[in-house]
């Protein structure tokens, strides 16, 4: 029997689609802001 010392959790965020922000960047800028983003 295997005893678990602590539970594990995967944390992070899903990648943003290319039409919404720049790809392959850690902190990309949004392509649309304000009213454009609401569309």
Per-residue pLDDT of the chain (39 residues; tens, 9 = 90+): 677 777 777 767 777 788 777 777 777 777 777 776 666
Q: Which residues contact 39 (CB under 8 A, 6 or more apart)?
A: 32
Q: Which residues contact 15 (CB under 8 A, 6 or more apart)?
A: 23
CA 9 to CA 25: how far, in whole Å? 24
CA 36 to CA 14: how far, in whole Å? 22
Q: Which residue has the tokens 């609401």?
A: 38
- In this prediction, residue 1 carries a pLDDT of 61
- In this prediction, residue 39 carries a pLDDT of 64
Tell me the pTM: 0.34
């Amino acid at each position: 029997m295997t005893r678990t010392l602590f539970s594990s959790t995967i944390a992070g965020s899903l990648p943003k689609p290319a039409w919404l922000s720049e790809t392959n960047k850690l902190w990309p800028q949004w392509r649309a802001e304000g009213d454009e983003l609401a569309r």
